[in-house]
Chains A and B, each alone.
Chain A
Amino acid sequence: MKYAIVGSGVSGIATIEAIRSVDRSGEVVMIGDDPHGFYSRPGLAYYLTGELHDKALYPRTSDEYRQMNFRYVKGRVKGVLREARVLELENQTSIAYDRLLIATGAQALPLEAPGANLEGVFKLDHMEDAKRILKHARRGKMAVVVGGGITALELVEGLLARGMNVHYLLRGDRYWSGVLDEHESKIVEARLQVEGVTLHHHAEVIEVMGKKNRVIGARLLDGRTLTCDMVAYAIGIRPRLELAIQAGLAVDRGILVNEFMQTNDPHIFAAGDVAQVYDPAVGRSILDSLWGPARQQGYAAGLNMAGKTTAYIKAPPFNVTRLAGLTTTIIGAVGGGHDKDLIGIARGDSETWRSLPDALVAQSGFDVNHLRLMVGEQRLLGAVVMGDQTLSYPLQKIVSERIDISSIREKLLAADARIGDVVVEFWAGLRN
């Protein structure tokens, strides 16, 4: 059996592990166009802040790769000949396959403004982007960051940590309105201001101004200009669908796959950020851009490719991240608002979060320890935990294992309920 995997991200790596758990001898080849191979993309944020050395972002040693027993080809796949089951690479070579995985990930949507290709305008997708940003960042200089979601904040914080002065521009009236509620957005914004970030609401860059190919400022929709030395943006991502479209596979926002991660061509599978996965529980196909699901989907794809039929069961997505230095966990369905700063979804984001559940909201906490629960009829449908993370793990279990919470529902919804304590007691009871 010949397996080909396009993309060297976490879903591709997990696919190889799964194939090898079933088939020790089949031929496995991975083709990737990122010169840095496999590394932790979410970790790029910590590389920007200086918490990590870039070398620490690579989880595998060459010895470990050897044990996985696959061939790695650096290059870009430009076409799939489905009839012949052959991949065509940009360097004019071709690779035959019996089972193909497309795990090409997603990439940042471009900033559509005159001047966006000047030197000094940055996105954050890859290791190369992070290295370019760090080369350009200078203590005491001025940066403008536009966009929303986690990556925009990671850019803000990375640049702050490198001693830059940062203007953060939001098109809407608050940060990440598709996922956070008003109070949560305000907590994040207040902390950014304390850190020295200058926030601009209802602000939009219409032109990046330059001189000799260097950024010198940003012109805003309201007529103002901000003097700056760099512009960084994170306005959403788009699955890399070129290959799937060329191959004539069924696509929507991502490559459409069933719960076995199989496309409409039974020899071709897709996983990770590029895949839009059918979720039988809700009867819809969903996009995530999350490391955990990318790994799990890759693993399920690998098992199915090697002949071990296994359904991918989508757990309620969650992410633990830092928003303006505040550890925040987002679990299940919590949002629903319209977000002017993002088109589609962002990095570390899930479409599920944006669906507004048919639920009542229970809320408690102060500015550094905040808790919001989406309370359904019998289950908790989602939660946001900011600051103290004691409840993050129990809530992740209660939501993902669909634990019946009828016995505490009333207590949670009572006026002035100490919902944190209610959950803690409930969890302690479950564990006994």
Chain B
Amino acid sequence: MAILGLFQHDVKKHAVLASGLVAPDPARCVQCGICTYNCPVGIDVRAHAWRGEPVIHNHCLTCGECVMRCPRGSLRFEKTDLFAKRKP
């Protein structure tokens, strides 16, 4: 449908995932924990969402599991800030 048309960047999606980081919107988050529960490398995404901080973490695979599963649309991929510090 029309709304989707403008937003289907399937081709670009992969590039965004590879260079993006997970950014939360705390106002949408209800702390359910589905993101943390499903993160394959055990990052506490929920804690980031509470603080409104992007997931800057060396272990993050940018696999998108948390973004996809969040039932509240609280998580998005944002382009990486190259100068952002990564936690070991």
Q: Which residue in chain B gives the minimum CB-CB distance to A369?
A: B1
Neighbouring B residues of A62 by C-beta, 8 Å: none
Contact, CB under 8 Å: A52 / B34:
yes
- How many positions in chain B have a CB within 8 Å of any CB in the partner chain? 25
Q: Is residue B50 within 8 Å, beta carbon to beta carbon, of the partner chain?
A: yes
A221 to B47, CA, bound (A): 48
Which residue from chain B places its CB closest to the CB of A368 in the assembled complex?
Answer: B1
Q: Are B73 and A43 in contact (CB under 8 A)?
A: no
Cross-chain contact A10 with B2 (CB below 8 angstroms): no
Contact B32 A57 (CB under 8 A): yes
Most buried by A among B5, B25, B32, B33: B32
Interface assignment of A203: CB less than 8 Å from any CB of chain B = no
Shortest beta-carbon distance from B51 to chain A in Å: 10
Residues on A with beta carbons closer than 8 Å to the beta carbon of B71: 46, 320-322, 327
Contact of B25 among A42, A388, A393 (CB under 8 A): A393
| Residues A389 and B37 in contact in the complex (CB < 8 Å), given A43-B32, A59-B47 | no
Known: A327-B71, A389-B73, A424-B7. A418 touches B2 (CB 8 A): yes
B6 touches A59 (CB 8 A): no
Residues of A within 8 A of B37 (CB): 52-53, 56
Q: Which of A311-368 contact B (CB under 8 A)?
A: 315, 318, 320-322, 327, 329, 364-366
A420 touches B2 (CB 8 A): yes
Interface string of B31-50 (1 = CB under 8 A from A): 11110110000000011001
In the assembled complex, which residues on chain B have CB atoms less than 8 Å from the CB atom of A115? Answer: none
**For the complex, what is the distance from the CA of A56 to the CA of B44, rounded to whole Å?**
11
Q: How many residues of A contact B (CB 8 A)?
A: 37
Q: Are B46 and A59 in contact (CB under 8 A)?
A: yes
Interface flags, A57-99, vs B, CB<8A=1, else 0: 1110000000000000000000000000000000000000000
CB-based contact A424/B6 at 8 Å: yes
A410 at the binding interface (Cβ < 8 Å): no
Q: Flag B71-83 by CB within 8 Å of A: 1 or 0 each.
A: 1111010000000
A336–B59 alpha-carbon span in the complex (Å):
48
Q: Report yes or no: A291 in contact with B3, Cβ–Cβ below 8 A.
A: no
Question: In the complex, what residues of A have CB within 8 A of residue B18's CB?
Answer: none
Question: Which B residues are in CB contact (< 8 Å) with A58?
Answer: 33
Chain A positions within 8 Å of B72 at CB level: 320-321
Please tell me if A401 contacts chain B, counting CB pairs below 8 Å: no
Residues in A with CB closer than 8 Å to B4 are 369, 388, 390
Residue A376 interfacial (CB < 8 Å):
no
Q: Which residue of A lies closest to B25 (CB)?
A: A393
Let me know if B30 and A40 touch, CB within 8 A. Answer: yes
Give residues of chain A (385-399) contacting chain B, Cβ–Cβ below 8 Å. 388-393
Other A-B pairs beyond A43-B31, A421-B5, 11, CB < 8 Å:
A43-B30, A56-B37, A59-B50, A320-B28, A320-B71, A320-B74, A364-B2, A369-B1, A389-B73, A393-B76, A424-B7
